[in-house]
């Protein structure tokens, strides 16, 4: 069972909440991202409930799904945002998130992004290097402001997940090395335009084992103690995101409560306020990517293919991380076949599933690629001249178009060529 999954069969047709997916495809075309607002809300509530006992503040990591309506859904529940660029900050503000609830991260912030964050009045910026700390100080000085800064520490904990999404290891580019901390504290003492307000970490994504959080938090708490002894009043301990979801019902995710059960007793006695930055956990299972079967084919080895109208340009996760996504036929089929579900892009990595048991659907029927809400639409591209798909949000029986399908004109709108002028 996928977590907080509001996609279910009503009779023989797959529905999102109270809306039939076939009707949605008819009204909006395919490929189409369909998001359940109720599922977003249920995931947020589950997260909040798990960490209820700990004074904390949750900042949705908008990189997972930055659609304005998704951000707004969380903002209306009192959730803040973690942003990683000027563009994400722009989106968060546009969606109505108040700056005091936004934290600004990123390993390579440009001066203009630092300026934008400071001018907007975000809660804090995270510094990921000594040079960046100096840059924040300089820009804050030009604005005659004092910047609230958290230091992102690289705790040197290698969380077991896909190697492309582990971030707390000293091999990786993220955060400040512990060995540099004396210099960091010294800088905070004499740079006039920065205040140290937080310690921060993010050890990776889709982490199943609470032990990695425990190991990294232990390090952060020791640094918190040491900084108190040095006279710093640190308000926030930012644990980052990374909490797992179930993509494959045969590999269920560790419940978020198990993480809470380990972390709460460690942190509660310190009295520090915790920030969490869940992305995937809040959105992954709230969306499906709806796609139409264009062609079925079978090769001389007997291998079957469903060629569908969505591909790696809409959901790159299987190609990039070999990640598993369930594929369901929108019309329920008793008879199944073993097939590859592949897209129209000219790359062999353009697949959603390989050698998978799928309902024996006909050409023209619909498939739903499940758990597509996190790092789906946001990682989409125009490769092969493909148009980014439309996105709809369902709430009960209500349906809202929350992103229009791109057009051919939009594909070339920023290009300059004499004959076009
Ligand atoms: N905070 C920071 C500083 C991050 O870098 C990230 C994710 C998060 C929070 C949210 O992590 P989450 O709770 O979603 O695991 N594209 C990859 C995932 C990349 C994650 C990048 N950073 C994927 O599709 O699996």
pLDDT exceeds 90 at position 257? yes
Most informative mutation of 152, 209, 277, 316 for ligand 1 (most atoms within 8 A of CB): 277
* 8-state DSSP, 47: H
268 plus 124 within the same structural domain? yes
Structural domain span for residue 127? 105-278
Nearest CA to ligand 1 atom 7: 205
| Residue ending a domain, choose from 278, 312, 327 | 278
Sign, Cα dihedral of 374, 378, 379, 385: positive
- d(C-alpha 173, C-alpha 120), whole Å: 27
- What CATH number should be reported for the domain holding residue 140? 3.20.20.10
Grade residue 308 by pLDDT with cuts at 50, 70 and 90: very high
Is residue 346 annotated as a catalytic residue, yes or no?
Answer: yes
Q: What pLDDT is stored for residue 25 in this prediction?
A: 98
- Residue 201 placed within a domain: yes
212 plus 267 within the same structural domain? yes
3-state secondary structure of 202: coil
Binding pocket residue ranges, ligand 1, CB within 6 Å? 61, 63-64, 82, 105, 165, 202, 205-206, 240-243, 277-281, 317, 321, 374-375
- d(C-alpha 176, C-alpha 151), whole Å: 7
Cα distances (Å, whole numbers) of residue 292 to 16, 56, 91, 328:
17, 43, 31, 12
- Residue 349 placed within a domain: yes
- d(C-alpha 401, C-alpha 315), whole Å: 19
- Residue 168 placed within a domain: yes
pLDDT exceeds 90 at position 263? yes
- Give the mean model confidence (pLDDT) for residues 255-282: 97
- d(C-alpha 126, C-alpha 337), whole Å: 50
- Give the mean model confidence (pLDDT) for residues 364-389: 98
Grade residue 421 by pLDDT with cuts at 50, 70 and 90: low
319 plus 351 within the same structural domain? yes
370 plus 272 within the same structural domain? no
295 plus 258 within the same structural domain? no
Buried b (16+ CB within 10 A) or exposed e, 32-60: bbbbbbbbbbbbbebbbebbeebebbbbb
| Residue ending a domain, choose from 223, 255, 278 | 278
- Tens digits of per-residue pLDDT, 138-158? 999 999 999 999 999 998 888
Most informative mutation of 280, 325, 380, 381 for ligand 1 (most atoms within 8 A of CB): 280
- Residue 329 placed within a domain: yes
- Residue 62 placed within a domain: no
Contact present, 306 and 344 (Cβ < 8 Å):
no
- Residue 44 placed within a domain: no
DSSP symbols for 71-124: HHHHHTTT-EEEE-SHHHHHHHHHTT--GGGEEE--TT--HHHHHHHHHHT-SE
Grade residue 2 by pLDDT with cuts at 50, 70 and 90: confident
Q: What pLDDT is stored for residue 420 in this prediction?
A: 65
305 plus 273 within the same structural domain? no
Ligand 1 center to 380 CA (angstroms)? 16
Grade residue 161 by pLDDT with cuts at 50, 70 and 90: confident
Ligand 1 center to 353 CA (angstroms)? 23
Grade residue 160 by pLDDT with cuts at 50, 70 and 90: confident
Among 94, 104, 63, smallest CA distance to 275 is for 104
Q: At what angle do helices 210-229 and 256-267 cross, to 10 degrees?
A: 20
pLDDT exceeds 90 at position 3? no
Ligand 1 center to 298 CA (angstroms)? 38
221 plus 265 within the same structural domain? yes
- Residue 89 placed within a domain: no
Q: What pLDDT is stored for residue 277 in this prediction?
A: 98
- d(C-alpha 161, C-alpha 204), whole Å: 8
- d(C-alpha 247, C-alpha 24), whole Å: 23
* 153's tokens: 């520490």
Q: Is 131 exposed, middle or buried (0-12, 13-18, 19+ CB in 10 A)?
A: exposed
| Residue ending a domain, choose from 259, 278, 297 | 278
218 plus 144 within the same structural domain? yes
- The pair phi, psi for residue 73, each rounded to 5°, is -55, -45
What atom of ligand 1 comes closest to residue 316's alpha carbon? 24
- Residue 309 placed within a domain: yes
Among 91, 145, 92, smallest CA distance to 114 is for 145
What is the 3 state secondary structure string of 218-279?
HHHHHHHHHHHHCCCCCCEEEEECCCCCCCCCCCCCCCHHHHHHHHHHHHHHHCCEEEECCC
128 plus 268 within the same structural domain? yes
- What CATH number should be reported for the domain holding residue 316? 2.40.37.10
Q: What pLDDT is stored for residue 163 in this prediction?
A: 76
Sign, Cα dihedral of 289, 75, 262, 218: positive
Among 277, 341, 373, 296, smallest CA distance to 70 is for 373
pLDDT exceeds 80 at position 316? yes
236 plus 362 within the same structural domain? no
- d(C-alpha 378, C-alpha 403), whole Å: 12
190 plus 264 within the same structural domain? yes
Percent of the chain with pLDDT over 90: 92
272 plus 288 within the same structural domain? no
DSSP symbols for 263-332: HHHHHGGGTPEEEE--SHHHHGGGEEEEEEEEEEEE-TT--EEEEES--TTT--HHHHH-----EEESB-
- Tens digits of per-residue pLDDT, 162-220? 777 677 777 778 888 889 999 999 999 999 999 999 999 999 999 999 999 999 999 99
Q: What pLDDT is stored for residue 172 in this prediction?
A: 79
Instruction: Please give the tally of structural domains in the chain.
Output: 2
Task: State pTM to two decimals.
Answer: 0.97
Grade residue 418 by pLDDT with cuts at 50, 70 and 90: confident
- Give the mean model confidence (pLDDT) for residues 367-396: 98
Ligand 1 center to 315 CA (angstroms)? 16
């Amino acid at each position: 069972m996928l977590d907080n999954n509001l996609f279910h069969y009503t009779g023989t047709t797959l529905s999102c909440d109270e809306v039939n997916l076939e009707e949605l495809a008819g009204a909006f075309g395919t490929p189409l991202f369909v998001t359940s607002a109720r599922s977003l809300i249920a995931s947020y509530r589950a997260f909040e409930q798990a960490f209820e006992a700990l004074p904390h503040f949750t900042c949705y990591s908008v990189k997972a799904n930055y659609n304005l309506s998704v951000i707004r859904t969380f903002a209306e529940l009192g959730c803040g945002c973690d942003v990683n660029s000027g563009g994400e900050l722009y989106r968060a503000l546009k969606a109505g998130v108040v700056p005091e609830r936004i934290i600004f991260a990123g390993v390579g912030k440009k001066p203009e992004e630092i300026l934008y964050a400071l001018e907007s009045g975000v809660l804090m910026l995270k510094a990921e290097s000594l040079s960046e700390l100096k840059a924040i100080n300089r820009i804050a000085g030009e604005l005659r402001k004092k910047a609230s800064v958290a230091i992102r520490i690289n705790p040197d904990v290698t969380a077991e997940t896909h190697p492309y999404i582990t971030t707390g290891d000293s091999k990786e580019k993220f955060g400040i090395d512990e060995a540099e901390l004396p210099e960091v504290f010294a800088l905070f003492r004499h740079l006039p335009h920065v205040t140290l307000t937080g310690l921060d970490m993010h050890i990776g994504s889709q982490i199943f084992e609470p032990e990695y959080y425990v190991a990294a938090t232990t390090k952060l708490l020791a640094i918190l103690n040491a900084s108190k002894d040095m006279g710093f009043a640190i308000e926030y301990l930012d644990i980052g995101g990374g909490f797992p979801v179930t993509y494959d019902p045969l590999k269920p995710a560790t419940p978020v409560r198990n993480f809470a059960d380990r972390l709460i007793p460690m942190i509660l006695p310190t009295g520090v306020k915790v920030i969490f930055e869940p992305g995937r956990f809040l959105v992954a299972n709230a969306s499906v990517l709806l796609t139409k079967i264009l062609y079925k084919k079978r090769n001389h080895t007997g291998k079957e293919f469903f060629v569908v109208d969505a591909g790696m340009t809409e959901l790159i996760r299987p190609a990039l991380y070999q990640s598993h996504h369930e594929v369901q036929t929108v019309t329920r089929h008793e008879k199944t076949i073993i097939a590859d579900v592949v897209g129209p892009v000219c790359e062999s990595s353009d697949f959603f599933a390989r050698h998978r048991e799928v309902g024996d659907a006909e050409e023209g029927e619909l498939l739903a690629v499940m758990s597509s809400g996190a790092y789906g639409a946001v990682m989409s591209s125009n490769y092969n001249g493909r148009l980014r798909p439309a996105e709809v949000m369902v709430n009960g029986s209500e349906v809202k178009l929350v992103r229009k399908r791109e057009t051919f004109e939009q594909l070339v709108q920023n290009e300059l060529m004499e004959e076009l002028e």
